[in-house]
Structure 1
Amino acid sequence: AEDPELPRVTSAGRWLATPGRFFPGFGRDVSEAELVRAAVEEATASSGWCKVISDWAADEPALPLPLLTSVVAAVHAAGGKVAVHCQTAEGSRNAVLAGADSLEHGMHLDPALLDRMAAQGTALVPTLSVFGAGADAMRAREPSVRRDLWLAGWDSMLDTVRAAHEAKVTVLAGTDSFPCGTVAGEMEWLVRAGLSAHAALGAASWTARAWLGLPGLVDGAPADVVAYPTDPTLDPDALNHPGRIVLRGRVVR
């Protein structure tokens, strides 16, 4: 984060997963009894954020709402924020009702919760590009509970993202999986979902900065600028070909 050659990183520390709710060993595996303490530890040891895995298998229960509510309350009391991975209806609902700061994926999110998200400032990071990239492969699989629920969730995600934006929910561009750094592709998916090119570009830049508490193009702010030879709101492919990158006032490309 302090390297002058690299962008700043706002980290959520290690993913926090309770038993059965993530790939073992990919994050920090904790028991439900340890989760609140671990969430505060990760938030205070990183950039003020922690990330909690709310759900995983489609046919397994999500993290209980009272526990997730306690996590959010404790982290907020410590001055931090909580991002919640959710890809089931129960997991998404619990994240909203617990007052999480962001929903990562939000698959199967009930549109009836969008007004509440907007009112409490919960952002939606739908990671459409990673789901879209895997949709054809998932359709080719043999029918199963996981496959069928995944496809049902994906088939409604574009409509949900559009409805979220119309409800004034902050929609941000996230990519989730490898290869990293494909935010330009995520912007294209947001446009497919119904966001204007201007709003989609903001979700990948100035809107995201403001939501994270970082200054934009104002006097005294760090000079972080990516410039293009053509307007990327008119030519989305321009995002893949920046003409100039300025980081902390230094031209790095």
Structure 2
Amino acid sequence: MALPEREERSFWIDGDRLRTEPVPGADLVVDGGWLLPGLVDAHTHPGTESLEDPFGDETLRRHLTDHRDAGVLLVRTPGSAARIPAWVDEDPAMPRVRSAGRWLATPGRFFPGLGRDVSESGLVRAAVEEAQASSGWCKVIGDWKHNEPALPLEILTAVVQAVHAVGGRVAVHCQTSEGSRNAVVAGVDSLEHGMHLDPGLIDRMAAQGTAFVPTLSVFGAGAESKRAAEPSAARDWWLAGWEAMLPNVRAAHEAGVTVLAGTDSFPCGTVASEVEWLVRAGLPAEAALGAASWSARSWLGLPGLVDGGPADLVAYETDPTLDASALAHPSRVILRGRVIA
């Protein structure tokens, strides 16, 4: 059964392409079960695991392999400590990657030296450079500490206009109310986290096509420790934002915003947990699964299970819309026409 259509269909693989007509000499690799376009993690940072660990090829390969073995065959890296090296695209055993180049951070708005530190006056030029040097994306740190100002709206608007002018797209990290507002009003292409997003902006996001990547699983994992922490302004601010996130995600979906699954956490290959959180937020199971598969692939410019499309697919013995945890246990993984597992 092929998803999302829920139709019994047969596919053949010709090189790295899917075909709906028989290919002579083909071997049977999947018989029955449920077929999905390869899973997608729309917010992951492979290549380094902590502030102390340098970005490296060995770690990057391990992280991408973990994604692939879990059926995540397309990843989007909205910001990294270094640009994704060319060998990733050249290696047929690696998932497809859509990179936003290096994080772009203005003074005081990120971990010093982890991304590309730029002045506010130099941000527009740097954003265009990163977009053109990567997969067409750039990533801007739109805010940082809860009690400090976000990147000014006029600067972020100029970034969006300049990057769009060269055919690129802009992702923005934002967790404060001001940062989220500025990102939406500036017309960014994706809102990353959006912890204190004003629900009054959701209709505007839908109208202009701003996607929402809430990364619920990484926040959910830290919620209990935050509640147990000593009271402080930062703790109360964080908890207030977390309490609003699930209702905002549901409202965004209902308004027609493209909601995508991204983990922003380690280990890699755990996008199934983000799907479970999207369901918990109130998305229908099929929409939550699409956020980590066909909807995300379409948003990133790749088709699903169609004739001539990329032969990137995962198979399951049971319907993953009935049990999101099944996503962590594919029965078959096929990447670029090659059987991985």
Give the TM bin, normalised by the shorter chain.
over 0.9
The answer on 1:7 being equivalent to 2:100 is: no
Q: Which runs of 4+ in 1 moved over 4 A?
A: none
Which of residues 263, 268, 271 is equivalent to 1:180? Answer: 268
Q: Corresponding residue for 1:103? A: 191
Q: Corresponding residue for 2:124? A: 36
Following superposition, the deviation at residue 144 of structure 1 comes to 1.6
Q: Corresponding residue for 1:201? A: 289
**What is the rounded CA distance, in whole Å, between the counterparts of 1:113 and 1:219 in structure 2?**
38
Which of residues 205, 208, 212 is equivalent to 1:120? Answer: 208
More helix, by proportion: 1
Partner amino acid, structure 2, of 1:16: L
When structure 1 is superposed on structure 2, of 174-183 and 123-132 the one drifting more is 174-183
Following superposition, the deviation at residue 116 of structure 1 comes to 0.6
Q: Corresponding residue for 2:325? A: 237
Following superposition, the deviation at residue 181 of structure 1 comes to 2.3
Partner amino acid, structure 2, of 1:239: L
**What is the rounded CA distance, in whole Å, between the counterparts of 2:164 and 2:289 in structure 1?**
29
Is there any run of 5+ residues in structure 1 with no aligned partner, and where?
Answer: none
C-alpha contact (below 8 Å) 2:174/2:195 kept by paired residues: yes
Partner amino acid, structure 2, of 1:105: H
Following superposition, the deviation at residue 180 of structure 1 comes to 2.4
SS of 2:173's equivalent in the other structure is strand
**What is the rounded CA distance, in whole Å, between the counterparts of 2:266 and 2:113 in structure 1?**
18
TM-score scaled to structure 1, two decimals?
Answer: 0.99
Following superposition, the deviation at residue 214 of structure 1 comes to 1.1
More strand, by proportion: 2
**What is the rounded CA distance, in whole Å, between the counterparts of 2:178 and 2:266 in structure 1?**
27
Following superposition, the deviation at residue 178 of structure 1 comes to 2.1
Deviations 1:175-207 (A, max 9, x none): 112222211000000000000110000000110
C-alpha contact (below 8 Å) 1:2/1:8 kept by paired residues: no
Aligned residues: 253
The answer on 1:27 being equivalent to 2:27 is: no
**What is the rounded CA distance, in whole Å, between the counterparts of 1:232 and 1:215 in structure 2?**
20
The answer on 1:142 being equivalent to 2:230 is: yes
Deviations 1:129-149 (A, max 9, x none): 000000111111112221111
TM-score scaled to structure 2, two decimals?
Answer: 0.73
Following superposition, the deviation at residue 250 of structure 1 comes to 1.1
C-alpha contact (below 8 Å) 1:50/1:82 kept by paired residues: yes
Which of residues 58, 65, 74 is equivalent to 2:162? Answer: 74
SS of 1:227's equivalent in the other structure is strand
Which of residues 136, 142, 148 is equivalent to 1:60? Answer: 148
**What is the rounded CA distance, in whole Å, between the counterparts of 2:192 and 2:268 in structure 1?**
16
Which of residues 179, 184, 198 is equivalent to 1:91? Answer: 179
C-alpha contact (below 8 Å) 1:42/1:50 kept by paired residues: yes
The structure with the larger Rg is 2
**What is the rounded CA distance, in whole Å, between the counterparts of 2:118 and 2:232 in structure 1?**
29
**What is the rounded CA distance, in whole Å, between the counterparts of 2:326 and 2:279 in structure 1?**
15
The answer on 1:250 being equivalent to 2:338 is: yes
**What is the rounded CA distance, in whole Å, between the counterparts of 2:90 and 2:318 in structure 1?**
31
SS of 2:187's equivalent in the other structure is coil
C-alpha contact (below 8 Å) 1:65/1:98 kept by paired residues: yes
SS of 2:157's equivalent in the other structure is helix
**What is the rounded CA distance, in whole Å, between the counterparts of 2:269 and 2:177 in structure 1?**
28
Partner amino acid, structure 2, of 1:104: E
Identity %: 79
The answer on 1:132 being equivalent to 2:234 is: no
SS of 1:246's equivalent in the other structure is strand
Partner amino acid, structure 1, of 2:132: T
**What is the rounded CA distance, in whole Å, between the counterparts of 1:28 and 1:128 in structure 2?**
26
Deviations 1:203-226 (A, max 9, x none): 001100001111111111111101
